[in-house]
Amino acid sequence: MRLKTFSADTMNDAMALVKQHFGEEAIIVSTQAGENGKGVRITAAIDQVEDDYDFEEESYEDELYHDPIEIITDALLNNGVPPQLSDDLIAAAEEMALEDPVLALAGAIDRYFTFAPMPIGNAEKPIVLVGMPGAGKTVTIAKLATQIVMRKQPVRVITTDTVRAGGFAQLEAFTKILKLKLISAGTPEELRAAVAGAEGRGHILIDCPGGNPFDDTDVARQARLIKAVNADVVLVMAGGADPMEAAEIARIYRELGARRLLLTRLDMTRRFGSYLSAAAVADLQLTEVGVGPSVADGLRPMNPVTLARLLLPHSVVQNFDDEEPEVRGAYG
């Protein structure tokens, strides 16, 4: 009989690990709280002996540094990455034949996703931020405006959020600090005129009102605003959503013109399956991420290595940081 202990943050995650390693025939021997009362530890057994290794009473944590593919597999599972995408990334990582799981996963990510910084410094097109209510669009507009002002470049900020109570006031509070005049445009015609009036005067940032992507009226209203101007459309999405729902939302905004995906609330996110799912299904470029709720927190660049570090367990990343300080420094 093979006996093995699995640890995870939740009972569901621990049971998923049992199923992954032992299959449906596993026998649950015991369940208990994890170390220091956090998480769950499950001891499971199976009668079938599949190899010559001695599995008796070994812990799941002890295996973490032995097999990079197993580490990556568990990380993708724990992050809620959809099965097909997870299988593709694991297969790509196996082809890398690298011993370091961070570099192997980064290589796989680089094969399946594209990364592009926010088009700051290029004032050829306005930037429109779209997404669901509460995604963090207004704060992200403030962060982008601050970034441009710090570069001593001109910027115009336009809000089309004239319906939500306090929507104008929230963004105006930020623009006043930056000594910028906030322009209001409630209709496609007003937006078109506002952009025409601001052209040639630096960057143009447009805050599109949040809408329900599953409501045809809301989608049509956002579509009219987006189509009123020729702009770079960026989907802003808060972390921690359901991966399948995030993919469905991303697909809708892709049809509205979104080409980049910006993740917010990174500090409040522990599982990034929705982020990968949305980008993969809608073929969106992964751009910068919002780290915290404050404008001072700014935006951080995203690349294959930083994304791999987000997905993998802290202990693995710490080991990578200790051994690959130059790579860590290059990619943030």
Q: Where are the alpha helices (DSSP H) in the chain?
A: 11-22, 68-78, 83-96, 101-112, 137-150, 167-177, 188-198, 216-227, 243-256, 273-282, 304-311, 314-323, 325-331
The pLDDT assigned to 231 comes to 94
Paired strand residues for 59: 5
pTM score, whole prediction: 0.76
Residues 6+ apart with CB under 8 A from 86: 73, 76, 77
CA separation for the pair 160, 194 (Å, rounded):
10
Tell me how far apart the alpha carbons of residues 86 and 313 are, in angstroms, rounded to a whole number: 16
Report the pLDDT value the prediction gives residue 124, as an integer from 0 to 100: 79
- Helix (H) / strand (E) containing 26: none
User: With contact defined as beta carbons under 8 Å apart, do 159 and 182 qualify?
Assistant: yes
Quickly count helices (H) and strands (E) in the chain.
13, 12
- The pLDDT value recorded for residue 331 is 41
Q: So what's the pLDDT on residue 322?
A: 65
Residues with pLDDT less than 50, the chain:
49-64, 327-332
d(CA 235, CA 260) in angstroms, rounded, equals 6
pLDDT of residue 123: 67
With b for 16 or more beta-carbon neighbours within 10 A and e for fewer, the 10-35 pattern comes to eeebbbbbbeebbeeebeeeeeeeee
pLDDT score recorded for residue 40: 76
The pLDDT value given to residue 140: 94
Is 247 within 8 Å of 224 (Cβ atoms)? no
